[in-house]
Every structure is written in structure tokens, then in C-alpha cells.
């Protein structure tokens, strides 16, 4: 399959995720055509790109990268008219997405891929009214997209294999780490894994086993450090010494299964929500969220750079 050069990306909807995508695409040396019907959307987008740019500069800009390659359009059709790739990040409403993708499908060039950032909707439903559903795909980023490499690529019932291949190749070429989710499931992969951890975290707070702050400490200064280096299966393999994962499963398979049976299944009651919110406020203290975000981004940047320089461990 001969790859189609991608130089112009349309970013449709420029909220938190869309603006982050736009900044990333610009940093990779692409032309970005953006659109969003919200009042003052262009000003907010340009402010967000400017705020992200110093971090992206530290990360390393591609040749020709410039925030000046961003153009904003009032009309959706104008934004996608010359796009090679469209990244949509609009509201998580199925009726809205169906109509939006129908309009994009009518206006975008025949070779353009139409990708959605949706975190929960099935792309099979989103492509329902498109004349060319074979080019509609899900490209779900992990927040913030301008820093986190992961993108989950999911095809719908009528998405072509070629679209999957081209989408994976495009994301990989601009420095992302795409994974192919081979079957549509709620929450895709990463959010399902997060949800499993969140469920037990909420359960432990609800049962009074630990405070919100202690649970955050347990992850951030324990397994979270290892998970930032490599995934759960590779970590298990290394913990088995010379015998690897076979040794671990032979000796700990039973206890792990026993832990699974004891995990909680909390209900998101008003009382639990309040307990968690109060715990977060106590942990946050006088610190500002903006300061935490800035510190997080610097640590993420350093970690991603270190992982890149060390080489893949997963």
C-alpha cells in the first residue's frame, strides 16, 4: 500500500482536547485548519497553543514547525475542504457526532481520513450516515494529547483495513504510539484499565481502608513508577526472575485470583462522591491546580524524553 502524504490536518472542535491536538500537530510541522462554533473559540485556541508551545519547544519541534501555520475557519466545510486527515474532538453526544461526521464526509477530499477522539462512543454508530464510512475511524488520545504518546485506533463495522493501516502509520510518523483495538468495547483499552483501578480506589475510600491522599501516594510512589516504565505484563515477567512470568503465574496465580474475588464493587453514591471530593481538597491543600499541571507536564516531558533515549522496554 502506497502511503498518502499527510501535511494538512483539520482539527474540528477546539476545546481542551482539540486545542492540545492542534498544538501537537503544529509542533510536528503540519498545517492545521481549525474550526469550532463556540464564541471566542479562535482566541481561546490561539491562547492554548501559545501556552503549550514552550513545553513543545523543550520536547523538540519538527523542521518547519510554527504556530503561524494555524488557520481558523468559521465554517466546518472550509476547515476540512483541503485536509489529508481530520481529528474531531467534539461533545460526546451520539446524535451530534453522527451529523458532524455526515457533514465532514460530504466536504472532505476523497483521500482524507476522518478520525474521532471520542472516549466512549462506538465508531460504528458514528459512521452510520456517512457515504464513505470506510474512511471513518476512532483515534482516541490520552490527555493531554500534546504530551502523552498513546493513541487508541479503533475501526467500526464499515471501516476499511486500509484506513486502519493509514491511521496507524500517520500517528506513528508524527511520534505517537498507536495501538490497534481490534474490537469495539466501552472505554477502549486504557480507560477500561484505569476504571478497574478507580473502582478499587473508590472502594478502599468507601470502606475506610485508606485516605484519598494515601491511595494517591500508594500509586504515585509505588506501582505507578514501574507502570510508567513498562506495562503490567512485562513488569510481572521481570518480577519472576530467571523463570519469568511462568514462574510468577505458577506461584502467585492462585493468590492473584483470590485478590480478584475480594475486590470491591462500590456504588457512586452522593456520600462517596463527597468523601472523595473532601479527600482531594485536603490532599490539594493550598496548592494551585495550574501549578500542579505545570509540574506534571515537566515531569512527563522528562520521563518521555528519558524513555525515548533509553529505548523501548515494552
Q: pLDDT digits over 255-286, tens only?
A: 999 999 999 999 999 999 999 999 999 999 99
Q: Distance between CA atoms of 57 and 54, rounded to whole angstroms?
A: 5
For the packed helices 190-206 and 270-284, what is the interaxial angle rounded to 10 degrees? 90
Closest CA to 132 of 93, 160, 99: 160
d(CA 238, CA 187): 29
DSSP state of 5: P
Residue 2 has pLDDT above 50, yes or no: no
- Contact of 140 with 149, CB cutoff 8 Å: no
Q: Domains in the chain, ordered, with CATH?
A: 8-181 (3.40.50.720), 191-310 (1.10.1040.10)
Q: Note whether 137 and 155 are within 8 A (CB).
A: yes
**Per-chain mean pLDDT for the chain:** 94
Q: Give pLDDT, residue 314.
A: 64
Closest C-alpha to 145, from 69, 48, 75, 62: 48
| Statement: residue 221 has pLDDT above 80 | yes
Do residues 49 and 67 lie in contact, with contact meaning Cβ atoms separated by under 8 Å? yes
**What average pLDDT does the segment 190-196 reach?**
95
Q: What are phi and psi of 115, to 5 degrees?
A: -115, 140
Looking only at the bridges linking them, the beta strands covering 85-88 and 113-116 are parallel
Neighbouring CB atoms inside 10 A of 96's CB total: 14
CA distance 115 to 133: 11
Give the span between the Cα atoms of 37 and 77, in whole angstroms.
Answer: 12
State the pLDDT at residue 129. Answer: 96
Residue among 84, 116, 79 at smallest CA distance from 101? 116
Statement: residue 6 has pLDDT above 70: yes
| Cβ count within 10 A of residue 122 | 17
Partner residues linked to 217 by β-bridges: none
Query: Distance between CA atoms of 80 and 127, rounded to whole angstroms?
Result: 17
Residue 95 CA to residue 128 CA, distance in Å, equals 10
Task: Decide if 112 contacts 86 (C-beta within 8 A).
Answer: yes
N-terminal to C-terminal alpha carbon distance within the chain: 28
The average pLDDT across 125-152 equals: 96
pLDDT band at 301 (very low <50, low <70, confident <90, very high): confident
- Phi/psi for 210 (5° steps) reads -155, 160
pLDDT of 1: 37
pTM above 0.85, yes or no: yes
- What is the CA angle 172-89-295, rounded to 5? 70
Residue 195 has pLDDT above 70, yes or no: yes
Identify which of 170, 74, 43 has the alpha carbon closest to the alpha carbon of residue 115.
Answer: 170
Amino acid at each position: 500500500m502506497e502511503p498518502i502524504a499527510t501535511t494538512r490536518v483539520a482539527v474540528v472542535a477546539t476545546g481542551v482536547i482539540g486545542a492540545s491536538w492542534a498544538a501537537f500537530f503544529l509542533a510536528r510541522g503540519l498545517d492545521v485548519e481549525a474550526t469550532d462554533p463556540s464564541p471566542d473559540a479562535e482566541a481561546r485556541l490561539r491562547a492554548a497553543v501559545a501556552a503549550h508551545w514552550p513545553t513543545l519547544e523543550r520536547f523538540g519541534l519538527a523542521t518547519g514547525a510554527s504556530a503561524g501555520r494555524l488557520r481558523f475557519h468559521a465554517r466546518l466545510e472550509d476547515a476540512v475542504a483541503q485536509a489529508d486527515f481530520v481529528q474531531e474532538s467534539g461533545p460526546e453526544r451520539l446524535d451530534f457526532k453522527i451529523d458532524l461526521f455526515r457533514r465532514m464526509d460530504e466536504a472532505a477530499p476523497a483521500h482524507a481520513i476522518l478520525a474521532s477522539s471520542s472516549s466512549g462512543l462506538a465508531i460504528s454508530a458514528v459512521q452510520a450516515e456517512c457515504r464513505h464510512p470506510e474512511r471513518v475511524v476512532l483515534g482516541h488520545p490520552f490527555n493531554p494529547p500534546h504530551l502523552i504518546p498513546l493513541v487508541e485506533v479503533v475501526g467500526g463495522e464499515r471501516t476499511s483495513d486500509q484506513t486502519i493501516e493509514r491511521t496507524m502509520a500517520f500517528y506513528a510518523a508524527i511520534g505517537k504510539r498507536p495501538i490497534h483495538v481490534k474490537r469495539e468495547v466501552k472505554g477502549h483499552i486504557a480507560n477500561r484499565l484505569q476504571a478497574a483501578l478507580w473502582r478499587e480506589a473508590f472502594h478502599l475510600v468507601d470502606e475506610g481502608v485508606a485516605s484519598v491522599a494515601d491511595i494517591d501516594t500508594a500509586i504515585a510512589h509505588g506501582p505507578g513508577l514501574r507502570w510508567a516504565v513498562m506495562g503490567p505484563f512485562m513488569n510481572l515477567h521481570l518480577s519472576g526472575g530467571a523463570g519469568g512470568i511462568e514462574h510468577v503465574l505458577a506461584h502467585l496465580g492462585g493468590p492473584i485470583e483470590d485478590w480478584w474475588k475480594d475486590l470491591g464493587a462500590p456504588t457512586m453514591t452522593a456520600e462517596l462522591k463527597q468523601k472523595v471530593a473532601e479527600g482531594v481538597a485536603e490532599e490539594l491543600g493550598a496548592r494551585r491546580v495550574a501549578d500542579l499541571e505545570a509540574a506534571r507536564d515537566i515531569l512527563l516531558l522528562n520521563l518521555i524524553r528519558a524513555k525515548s533515549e533509553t529505548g523501548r522496554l515494552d
